[in-house]
Chains A and B, each alone.
Chain A
Amino acid sequence: MSEALSFDFMQHALLAGILVSFAAGIIGSLIVVNRMVFLAGGIAHTSYGGIGMAVYFGLPIFLGASLFAVGSALLIAALTLKKRHRMDTFIGLIWAVGMAIGVILVDLTPGYNVDLMSYLFGSILAVSSEDLWFMGVLLSIILAVVTVWYRDILAVSYDSEYASLRGVNVTFFYTLILILSALTVVIAIKVVGLILVIAMLTIPVYIAEKLSKSLFSMMFLSGLIATLFTLAGLWLSYTYNLTSGASIIMVSALSLGVFLLGYKVK
């Protein structure tokens, strides 16, 4: 492994793994406590439309995916704020339409044969310096937002109706959580791919939730656990020449199984 660390691409992969794991731990905690897991899945798949758009118009992939994911998050927020009971219908619709747009735009791009697999299952070994900057800036924004507005986010997540009665702007914070979820999904796609991103956002969080007394400790612990899973998955992927995203998720799932066994025995 020490030999592997001498390569630039491996150093980038490690750094990307740590940055994305912490972002996924923090935002994954908010997704789980707000019961938005299906919604995050919808945004992840919808962002394929943004990848197709970026390919078609010759834009950076991150930019295209981010714009599309944030746009769909805003659309979902607008549709579900008044009718939360119909959230699953809207998400299912946006999920499928986003992917369809992506596939059609890639089809229409002349002479371009995009490596679909790298977006479906991640390509952490192909992380560039620009990608790292994007991930670093996003993690900084997430940290700043949850630090300054922790109590509001906590209030909205725990009991939104009561928070509204106490003067908290529920619409603003609900939308903010959705936008940060969308951006986190986009950077996590680079590490584990859009199909597996849900596992990265939920497995470490589920374990952390069982061990935490507060949302703050849950977010921090989730980030730490996600980092361990990512580094272990990366090592497995390098050693046995396996797909990195799938390796990370399998390490996470097996660890969850062991944790649950231990938790039940206890």
Chain B
Amino acid sequence: MIEIKDLGFAYDKQTILENINLTVNAKDFLAIIGPNGGGKSTLLKLILGINPLQSGTITIEGKKPSQSLKHIGYVPQNTNINTDFPIKVIEVVMMGHIEGERPLLGYGKNEMSCAMGALVQVGMQEFAQTKIGSLSGGQRQRVMIARALCANPSILILDEPTSSIDITGQRSIYELLKKLNQQISIIVVSHDISVILEYANKAAHVNKTLSYHDISDKQNTFHTHGDKEHFCEIELLQMLAPKGCESCETEPKWRTKP
């Protein structure tokens, strides 16, 4: 589905990414972690075709990123969204439709039904005519996922989808992604390692270079203490970044198995 080979990227002569190799297969759930400034967002922008390729190759379903817009649904970080903007939920979702044939004025029936279908998928259909600013952070994020689903993508890419959402909302978003993962591939940039462990089947640590592990079998990172199973975040990080990563945590942090 996505094939990245020998990818490198520099900005103002400063190397951001080098020698990146990554394969994402159908129905993979890939979690990308790494320190701030490590190149995670740059990698996403290269996959999305926002940043131009400098070295290496990226192919999505055998095509260049710029020719693969219809295969990718994208949910950006929600930090730039203006919550005062007067816009209805249904209008936001219809923005996900790829430009192409369209009526002279307004939206076509096809786009409307496609957007309603996407809202049903994320459980937000009853809010179609609601002003988006009046929704909670978790509900808004569901709408953004519906916008990304509007073009029927085969890959969904999410950049920090649960930042500024409460714990209940976060879990609900990841449960939704798990459900969507039965049909499409998911790539998530996240700082929440416990979520990665629970939902992802592959994890990549990006800090200029990329190390990549299959974590479908998560037993290695769990330990039994008393009657509870725990996992260690640092152990997972060491698996992903065996040479160590100065920016990541160095003290072991234990969490109860979800």
B50 and A158 contact, CB distance less than 8 A:
no
- Chain A residues near B54: list those with CB within 8 A: none
Q: Are A159 and B50 neighbours in the complex by a CB distance under 8 Å?
A: no
A212 contacts B95, C-beta separation under 8 Å: no
Residues of A within 8 A of B86 (CB): 33, 209, 212-215, 217-218
Nearest-CB residue, chain B, relative to A212: B86
Asked if B191 is at the interface of the complex by the 8 Å CB criterion, the answer is no
For chain A, the count of residues having a C-beta within 8 Å of the partner chain is 26
- A202-B2 Cα distance, complex, nearest whole Å: 47
User: Is the Cβ of A163 less than 8 Å from the Cβ of B87?
Assistant: no
> Which residues from A are CB-within-8-Å of B49?
165
Give the residue among B88, B99, B129 with the most A Cβ atoms within 10 A: B99
Partner of A33, one of B81, B82, B88, B94: B82
Query: A221: shortest Cβ distance to chain B, in Å?
Result: 10
Number of A-B contacts (CB under 8 A): 71
Whether A213 and B131, one on each chain, are in contact in the complex, defined by CB atoms closer than 8 angstroms, is yes
Determine which of B50, B88, B100, B107 lies in contact with A165 in the assembled complex, contact meaning CB atoms within 8 Å: B50
Q: Which of A13-41 contact B (CB under 8 A)?
A: 33, 35
- Residue contact B87 to A158, C-beta cutoff 8 Å: yes
**Selected contact of B69 from candidates A33, A157, A167, A213, CB within 8 Å:** A167
Question: When the two chains form their complex, are residues B106 and A150 in contact, meaning their CB atoms are under 8 A apart?
Answer: yes
**A158 lies within 8 A of B96 (CB):** no
Given contacts A150-B106, A165-B50, A212-B86, A159 and B96 within 8 Å (CB-CB)? no
Say whether A132 faces chain B, with CB atoms less than 8 Å apart: no
When distances are taken between beta carbons in the complex, the residues of chain B under 8 Å from A155 are 95
Number of interface residues of B (CB under 8 A): 32
Complex contacts, A166 vs chain B, CB 8 Å: 69, 95-99, 151
- Cβ of A199 under 8 Å from chain B: no
Given contacts A154-B87, A165-B48, A215-B87, contact A159 B69 (CB under 8 A): no
- A148 part of interface (Cβ distance < 8 Å): yes
Alpha-carbon distance A166/B99, docked complex (angstroms): 6
Instruction: Tell me whether B91 is interfacial, beta carbon within 8 Å.
Output: yes
Bound complex: CA A62 to CA B86 (Å): 33
| Nearest residue, chain B, Cβ from A155 | B95
How far is A33 from B83 in the complex, measured between Cα atoms in Å? 11
Q: A33 near B85 (CB under 8 angstroms)?
A: yes
Contact with B along A216-237 (1 / 0, CB 8 A): 0110000000000000000000
CB <8 Å contact, B105 and A148 = yes
Residue B38 is within 8 A (CB to CB) of chain A in the complex: no
CA distance A164 to B86 in the complex (A): 20
Indicate if the CB atoms of A214 and B87 lie closer than 8 Å: yes
Assuming A167-B69, A214-B88, is B99 touching A162 (CB within 8 A)? Answer: no
- In the complex, per-residue mask of A33-59: 1 if CB is within 8 Å of any chain B CB, else 0: 101000000000000000000000000
Given contacts A33-B82, A213-B88, contact A162 B95 (CB under 8 A): yes
CA distance A213 to B88 in the complex (A): 6
Query: Which residues of chain A have C-beta atoms less than 8 A from B50's C-beta?
Result: 161, 164-165
Q: How many Å from the CB of A165 to the closest CB on chain B?
A: 6
A161 in complex: contacting residue of B76, B82, B104, CB < 8 Å? B76
Q: Does B74 contact A (CB under 8 A)?
A: yes
Q: Which residues of A contact B147 (CB under 8 A)?
A: 162
CB-CB < 8 A to B102: which residues of A? 151
A168 CB–B CB distance under 8 Å: yes
Q: Which residues of A contact B107 (CB under 8 A)?
A: 151
Closest Cβ of chain B: how far from A14's Cβ, in Å?
A: 29
Q: Which 5 A-B pairs have the closest CB atoms?
A: A167-B99, A212-B86, A218-B86, A213-B131, A155-B95
Q: A33-B82, A165-B48, A167-B100 are in contact. List 4 more A-B contacts (CB 8 A).
A: A161-B76, A165-B49, A165-B69, A215-B86
Query: What are 19 of the A-B contact pairs (CB < 8 Å)?
Result: A150-B106, A151-B102, A154-B95, A158-B92, A158-B95, A159-B95, A162-B76, A166-B97, A166-B99, A166-B151, A167-B99, A167-B100, A209-B84, A213-B88, A213-B131, A214-B86, A214-B87, A215-B85, A215-B87
Q: Report which B residues bind A (CB closer than 8 A).
A: 48-50, 69, 74, 76, 80-82, 84-88, 91-92, 94-100, 102, 104-107, 129, 131, 147, 151
